[in-house]
Amino acid sequence: MYCSFLNGLVMDVNVNTAERRRSVRMPQVFQVSLCDNRWRSIARGRTVNISEGGVLIVTEDRQGIPKQGQLHLEILLPTGVGRGGNKRSLRIVRYICRIARVEKMGHLLTLGLEFIEKIH
């Protein structure tokens, strides 16, 4: 709580700083594939941010992208420097996700996904 002075009056103002997220989000851009339950790609996109518990992605809005329920996600991650010191090795990490939030932005779609299970 802090005090604010307005026209000589003191007003008590409560500042709500509660954070609902359980883990810190890091802005990162990685290529992703949204997949059906057989791991067939239904759309491609990019991450906006990622955390221990989930990811925000952006993709083109198209038919076949579920707006609720679950979907499968493949994230293409760098593993470090490859041979010769100038090429990066890549690996695919797979998750089953719950669709927590969907927002349409013109021809784009943002999806907030909660990680349910990492697939090895």
The tens digit of pLDDT for each residue in 36-49 reads 999 999 999 999 99
- Cα separation, 41 vs 109, in Å, equals 16
Buried-state track 83-116, b at ≥16 Cβ within 10 A, e below 16 = eeeeeeeeeeebbbbebeeeeeeeeebbbbbebe
Sign of the alpha-carbon dihedral angle for 34, 44, 49, 107? negative
Terminal-residue alpha carbon distance, the chain:
47
H runs (alpha helix) in the chain: none
What digits encode the pLDDT tens for the residues 65-111? Answer: 999 999 999 999 988 765 666 667 889 999 999 999 999 999 999 99
Residue 20 has pLDDT above 70, yes or no: no
Question: Tell me, what's the pLDDT at 2?
Answer: 37
Q: Taking all residues of the chain, what is their mean pLDDT, rounded to a whole number?
A: 83
What is the rounded average pLDDT of the residues 22-28?
86
Domains of the chain, earliest start first: 22-119 (2.40.10.220)
